Every structure is written in structure tokens, then in C-alpha cells.
Amino acid sequence: MTIVISAPATDNVCMRRLIYWVGMSIDGRIAGPRDEVDFFPQSEEYTRWMCEEYPETLPTHVRQHLGIDSSPSRHFDTVVMGWRTYEPALRIGITSPYSHLRQYVVSSRQQQRDPDVAVVSGDPAGLIRELKSEDSESDIYLAGGAALAGSLLPEIDGLIIKLYPVVAGTGHPLFRAAFSPTLFSLADVRKFEGGNAVLTYQRRQADAMQSTMPSAPPAERAQASAKTEKTERTGATPERSEDVT
């Protein structure tokens, strides 16, 4: 079954955001020209952090391999990906790569391969707006790739870039989109041994969510949001984003 979504834009202000969580080389490549993703070096310290802080971003079979398959999701409850990002799992016989999350795959030509993975044709922005309007404290994990991220750029609220210390030379870019400069502010930088780094960006816009960082777990964000509301009510000087995470 293929789901066709064409939801209208809404004016909803809600806490649920679309976060592009993605691995990238120094020269801005998310994969090699033939879809290679095995050239990204990662240190033990970085891998440990990812398993502890973002366990839900690992595919289910990798979680099982690492013995963390029962780790609760900390940031995301839903994953959205393009068909070409889903395909490598199919090639190794896995039809539900993130079975611990709700899964959507965007494709206008392909059919559903697993009852747990919805295939969405039509405007993916409509799907995102529908997901954002849900009552949930978790964010939406945009897994990529470049084509889907490019078409969803207007909907992306934050980016978490896992920066790997390698230059690819060529390959798939972070976004495949028309020239459309879009400002983000750098909210957090984490450095790890071995040269790995994680950069957190949030879309620059004047709304209440601006005072929280995408890397903050939902409970902390709710707390930060409450602080912002209180600040707005009392007229006190707002805290800097660094202070609320």
C-alpha cells in the first residue's frame, strides 16, 4: 500500500521539530559516488557517545549487534528517509531497518515492502507538517539522503552533523537543492578523540523554540520552554541557549 499525503500548511507552533541527523566528510559528502558509507572513521569515544545519547538513530540490527537493542529512544520517535537511503537495508534482506521507530520512506515509484514501513508518495513536506502537528515531545529524525533533505529544506528545524575527519573528494552532498541560502545558527560543538565532531545547528527564526538546542532531550526542552514562557511573562532577560541545555 502506498500512502499519498498532500496536507495543507498549518500555522501550528509546536515543539516537535524535523532534525536532519547525518554523517558528513570534511568536504561535505554524505556518501561516496557509488553510495560508499564505509570510509567514515569513528573513534571508540564517539561511538560510545552516539550509543548512549542517540541510540535510536542506529538501525535495529546494529543495535542488536552492539547489545543496546533495549535502549529507550531519547530524542526521536519517527524516522523519515528517501528511497535510496532505505535501499541498502533491502539489499541485505532487511525491510524494517528502524523497527524501534515509526518509519516513513518517500518514493513516488516504489511499493511498500514491510507493513511497518509506510511508503509516502506526493509532497513529503505535507507528511512532515502532519507529523509536526502531532502531540509528541519527541522530534522527527530526517535520515536523508541529499535529495529528500533538499526538498525538505524549508521544513528542517535543526541539523546534527556528525563530522568525520576525512575528505571524500567527491560523492553525494549534504543537500541536493536549488540555490537557496538558509541561515542556521551553531548551537553546540562536541569534539571527540580521533577527530570526530558533532555540530548542532538550529534554524534561525524568531520563535519560542529558538531558545532550546536540538541536542537537548525532550524533558530538558520542555523545561527550557517553560523557562522561556516564564521569561516572556515576566519580561526578564532571556537566558542564552547555552544555559538551558
Residues that bind ligand NAP in the complex, under the rule CB under 6 A: 22-23, 30-31, 35, 37, 81-85, 88, 106-110, 124, 143-148, 151, 172, 176
Q: Secondary structure of 51-104 in the HEC alphabet? A: HHHCHHHCCHHHHHHHCCCCCCCCCEEEEEEEHHHHHHHHHCCCCCCCCCCEEE
- Residue placing its CB nearer to ligand NAP in the complex, 131 or 209: 131
- Residue placing its CB nearer to ligand NAP in the complex, 30 or 244: 30
- Residue placing its CB nearer to ligand NAP in the complex, 30 or 224: 30
What's the CA gap between 103 and 123, in Å, rounded? Answer: 17
Q: Rg for the chain (alpha carbons), in Å?
A: 18
- Could you tell me how many residues make up the chain? 245
The three cell numbers of residue 216 are 537537548
- Residue placing its CB nearer to ligand NAP in the complex, 166 or 222: 166
- Residue placing its CB nearer to ligand NAP in the complex, 37 or 66: 37
- Under DSSP, the state recorded for 152 is T
Query: Which residues lie closer than 8 Å to 94 by C-beta, 6 or more apart?
Result: 59, 60, 61
- Under DSSP, the state recorded for 243 is G
Minimum Å gap between C-beta 88 and ligand NAP is 6
Minimum Å gap between C-beta 157 and ligand NAP is 18
